[in-house]
């Protein structure tokens, strides 16, 4: 059994949907159903990674204030080591604008 739904999508999304349906030789509805089936229902992968590393804890967990502070400090150390690829370009652009 199918349920009829009306949705609003952006013009770019409509164009993409039409291209995908035509290329696959399938209906637009079938493409939407497949996309919905492909969406994960589990926890966000970023949250899962942070949980697995002990950098965040679930709400129902009893964590001391000190453990929470330590986990947050560890998280800040972790992200502080990363370098964004655009950092130098952004800084150079700002210097030129002065």
User: Are 87 and 53 members of one domain?
Assistant: yes
User: Are 30 and 50 members of one domain?
Assistant: no
User: Are 88 and 67 members of one domain?
Assistant: yes
Report percent pLDDT > 70 for the chain.
70
Structural domain that includes position 86: 45-97
The pLDDT value given to residue 55: 76
Tens of pLDDT, residue by residue over 42-78, are: 666 777 777 777 777 676 667 677 877 787 777 777 7
In a domain, 1, yes or no: no
Q: Which of 78, 12, 13, 21 is nearest to 50 (CA)?
A: 78
CA atoms within 13 A on the CB side of 18: 7
Which pLDDT band holds residue 17 (cuts at 50, 70, 90)? very high
Q: How many domains does the chain have?
A: 2
Distance (Å, rounded) from C-alpha 48 to C-alpha 54?
A: 10
User: Are 33 and 13 members of one domain?
Assistant: yes
String of DSSP letters for 43-88? S-HHHHHHHHTTSS--TTS---HHHHHHHHHHHHHHHHT---TTHH
């Amino acid at each position: 059994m199918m349920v009829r739904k009306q949705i609003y999508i952006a013009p770019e999304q409509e164009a993409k949907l039409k291209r995908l349906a035509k290329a696959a030789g399938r209906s637009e509805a079938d493409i939407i159903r497949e996309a919905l089936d492909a969406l994960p229902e589990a926890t966000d992968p970023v949250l899962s990674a942070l949980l697995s590393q002990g950098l965040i804890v679930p709400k129902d967990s009893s964590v001391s204030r000190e453990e929470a502070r330590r986990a947050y400090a560890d998280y800040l150390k972790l992200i502080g080591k990363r370098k964004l690829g655009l950092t130098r370009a952004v800084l150079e652009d700002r210097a030129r604008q002065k």
